[in-house]
Structures are given as structure tokens and as C-alpha cells.
Amino acid sequence: MGFPAIAEIAMKPEVEIYDTTLRDGSQGEGINFSVMDKLRIAEKLDAFGVHYIEGGWPGSNPKDMEFFKQIRRRKFRNAKVAAFSMTRRKGLRVEKDDLMRQMLEAETPVITIVGKTWLLHVLEVLRATPDENLAMIADSIRFFKDHGKTVFYDAEHSFDGYKNEPEYALATWQAAEKAGADGIVLCDTNGGCLPVEISRITALARGRLSAPIGIHTHNDCGFGVANAIAGIEAGATHVQGTINGYGERTGNCNLTSVIPAVALKLGKTCVPKSSLRKLRELSLFVDEIANFKPDPRQPWVGATAFAHKGGMHAHAVERLAASYEHIHPETVGNSRRVLVSDMSGRSNVLAKAKELGLKLTADTPELRTILARIKELESQGLEFEAAEASLALLVQRQLRHRELPFAVESYHVSMRGDHSSSVCEATIRVRVKDKTAHTVADGDGPVNALDGALRQALSRFFPQLRKLQLTDYKVRIIDSATGTAAKTRVLITTSDGTRDWGTVGVSENIITASLQALVDSMEYALMRR
Ligand SMILES: [Zn+2]
């Protein structure tokens, strides 16, 4: 394990990263973190080098309280843990408010208090007087300052509130500052503001307050990241967001975009320099814990962020990588991919082969046959863009005229069911040199059963195949070039726990197409040994 360089420890970053994946992010649809999930994400965030981790709202549910209890026992190197709550309730002394007491029980070094900026919300939602709201903000912050905490004040609806009643908005922020807040965080809670509004109001706040300014944005107009950057350019030195942009509605400001933008585009220090290369890994890790499929089109870290298609581009990229890329993909732990498609010429295929580590050059005599074979298969409906393993096998089969590691001699799939349940059964016979294996397996569906039977049979000869897992299975109906019968294209993704690869099969019959993709997947695993 490496330690951060001395210079990195000593230097206060120009922009602090405050992660709220575990609190605001967990409000997103389809997200349900367990306590263990939250602990694992927090550890990953600390190792990555964010400065603050907001763990949850102790008063909102027992799960968050349990998280705070467990996190206390862990030593963090970079991050400080924050607990979140709203201001004290109206008409109640701060020390008498259970919410405040529960916050202290969380025993975090940092407390974040959210309060009202927008007069409309004070009057209609809170049903409090403007002065009572100011007192609620000030009392809550002072209470935690008196307990020795670092206190951030999240000013809800900062921008909408300011646009509606600037003097009152300012008064709420000044109340927080006077009470000792360590930072005033301007929030675009509804995500409806334009970058230019964020710039103007943040700059104004910057001029009127002496406490550090933070920015917290949402992505409802698609400006989550742009608005955070606008805030930072206007003087904010603290930015709140979530990994992969998780959050309510369309999500929060995406830290996996903000962090590299701050470091590489604004040239400001934030997380340790060495962490940027772990950005893609962090993004994938959090998706995995949340059980989301990573978005391939995610800026900076997505699988297609540095993918190039089309003969000319691929050719140019091969010669001059920077010509079609805004940064070196490795800077954020991503990599360049060259996609192969019907549009592609020799240069695409050669670039792809190089990326896959295959010995193929413009002078290889088999290149012509390989290109012809790809074209032929593409016209039948195969697509290699997400099936790199099938492409690698195609090239290898043409290059080394060697025997296949195994052959499927026969198979049979059947299904039986009644009104309440159904089960599929597959039998398969495979040959490896002069030996055969014959196996049977059950499955939820025909492909699942076939996968089970094939893997069982092959594992007798190649035990390393046991750890493979089918991680994704996609079916698409395509028109064949002949325009007669519709065909089925099956794309599967297989993982060995550390790497994933895609394979493809096409046939009029979904089972046959699936078997092709499964066979390619196993053969590829054996080829790469
Ligand atoms: Zn929020």
C-alpha cells in the first residue's frame, strides 16, 4: 500500500470534495444500501482521497445510526465523516430537540445542517416567521460549534430563494456565518438553475460572506456538473456531489465528472494526484455495490468515453492519439478502444488486434481472409463492438490453424411446466481430444440450463472454467441481409472475477445463437490462460 507524498498531505486542497453518495445519493430510485454496503463505499472513498463523507441522517432511520456506530471503529486516512440533519424544530429549545441529540450520538467530527433560504418555504412549508427561521439556523449551528464540531451549513434553495427575496436569503447565510459555520454551502435543491445564475449568485455571496463557500447542485436540467463548476469558478472552495451522479429524480452533481474537471480543466488541487487514475475503478465499484449496470456513455469513466469508430478516426487515433481525445484516457484510469464495425477498414481491425494483443500487422498474409470473414459475418448480423472476445477468436482461428480445444458433439434442451412453475433441462456432449463428457443441468431458462450443462462438461477437463460467471445476456431480433427470416443475435458477457469479455452468436434459433456465444466465451477463457 502506498502512502501519499508529503507535499500532498501538507497542502490544503484548493477545492474540497464532500461526498454525499451515502445520504443524498441513496435517495435515488433503485438504491438501497445495506449498512455493510455503506461501510465498503466509505472505505473506498477514503482510500480514493475525498475530504468528507456524509454518512446519513442519524434521526431518519436506525440503519443510518448503525452505520455511524460501526464507522467509528474504522480509521480513515483522508476523509472525515459527517452526519446530516435539518435545523432544530420550531418552538423548541435546541438542547431539547431529539434530532440534535441523535446527531451528537453519531459521534462524527463533522455536522452538516440544512436550513431554509427561501421565504416561500419558511412561510408555507415550515409555517414559521422569518425571524424564527433565522434563530433556528443560528441556534443549531452554535449548538454543534459548542460541542467542538466542524459545522457546514447547507442552505437549501439558495438560488431560488435569492432570486425571490435576495435580502432575506443573504440574512440566512449571515446568520449561519455569525453562529460559527465553517462553510456556507449554496444548494440548487430543485436543480433548475442555469450556470450563469449560479455564477452570479455565488460571486455575490462570496463578496458578502467571509466563511468559505460550498456548492451543492442537482442535475434536473442536465447542468449538475456544469453548475458545480460555475460555482467553483465564482469562488466556491467546497463541492458536494455523489459518485456516478446518484440521487433523487435525475440525480446529484456527478463527482466522477467534477473531480477530473477541477483537476484537469480548472487546474486546481482537490484529491491526491495519484487518485485520478483510480477514478474509473471507483465508479465501477460503487455501481457494483448499488447493483447498477455501469453507464457506458458516462463522461470520463464510461466504457465508450474513449471509443473510436469509423475508419478515418481509428486510423488517425492510431497515428496520433491526442487528435480525437480531450485528455489521455489513462489519466482517469480509462483506456482507448477502437470499435470494429461494417464501416471499418483494415486500420480499425489492425488497431483492434493490437489492443487485444494479437500478432496481426498490415503484412500478415491472413489479413485479407480475416477482413473478408468479418464482413461476411457482419452481413449475417453479427456485431463485434461489444463482443471483442468473439473477434479475438475469429482472428486467432485464421492465424493459427490449430485444433479447437473442445467440440460440442450434440445437445438437447427441453422444458416442462405447470400453471405455477417451469423448469428447463439441458443435456450436452462435448469432446476434448479423444475423451467425451455427457452432462445434464437444470436452469431457470433454456440458456441458463445450457450454460450449466456446458460448463459442467468442460470443467472436467478445464477446472479453471468453474469460476466463470455469465454476467449479462442480451437478445435482439435483427433483420438478416437477405430479408427473409428474422434472426436472433445473442450477446453475452462473462466474467472471471477480474475481467469481463463479450461474445456473440447469431441464428434463426435463439438456443443455437446462445450456444455459439457460450462456446466462444469458454474458448476465449481457455485461449487467454
Ligand atoms: Zn441535495
DSSP string, 283-350: HHHHHHHHT----TT-TTTSTTTTEE-SHHHHHHHHH-GGGG-SS-GGGGT---EE---TT--HHHHH
Instruction: Give the pLDDT confidence score for residue 314 in this predicted structure.
Output: 61
Rounded to the nearest whole angstrom, what is the distance from the C-alpha of residue 438 to the centroid of ligand 1? 57
Cα separation, 421 vs 426, whole angstroms: 17
Rounded to the nearest whole angstrom, what is the distance from the C-alpha of residue 187 to the centroid of ligand 1? 7
Confidence of residue 529 (pLDDT cuts 50, 70, 90): low
Rounded to the nearest whole angstrom, what is the distance from the C-alpha of residue 107 to the centroid of ligand 1? 23
Residue 484 in this model has a pLDDT that exceeds 70:
no
Rounded to the nearest whole angstrom, what is the distance from the C-alpha of residue 91 to the centroid of ligand 1? 26
Rounded percentage of the chain residues whose pLDDT exceeds 70: 93
Which residues pair with residue 408 across a beta bridge?
430
DSSP-assigned letters across all residues of 132-157: HHHHHHHHHHHHHHHTT-EEEEEEET
**Which residues neighbour 35 within 8 Å (Cβ) at sequence distance 6 or greater?**
63, 66, 67, 70
Rounded to the nearest whole angstrom, what is the distance from the C-alpha of residue 492 to the centroid of ligand 1? 37
Cβ(390)–Cβ(382) below 8 Å: yes
Per-residue pLDDT tens digits for 379-423: 777 877 778 888 888 888 888 766 789 999 999 999 988 888 889
Mean pLDDT of all residues in 342-350: 66
Instruction: Give the pLDDT confidence score for residue 1 in this predicted structure.
Output: 38
422-432 and 435-443: which strand pairing? antiparallel
Rounded to the nearest whole angstrom, what is the distance from the C-alpha of residue 83 to the centroid of ligand 1? 14
Confidence of residue 249 (pLDDT cuts 50, 70, 90): very high
Rounded to the nearest whole angstrom, what is the distance from the C-alpha of residue 244 to the centroid of ligand 1? 14
- What average pLDDT is seen over the chain? 90
Rounded to the nearest whole angstrom, what is the distance from the C-alpha of residue 102 to the centroid of ligand 1? 21
Q: What is the pTM of this model?
A: 0.74
Rounded to the nearest whole angstrom, what is the distance from the C-alpha of residue 149 to the centroid of ligand 1? 22
User: Which secondary-structure segment (H or E) carries 372?
Assistant: helix 367-379
Per-residue pLDDT tens digits for 267-289: 999 999 999 999 999 999 999 88
Cα separation, 490 vs 497, whole angstroms: 22
Rounded to the nearest whole angstrom, what is the distance from the C-alpha of residue 521 to the centroid of ligand 1? 43
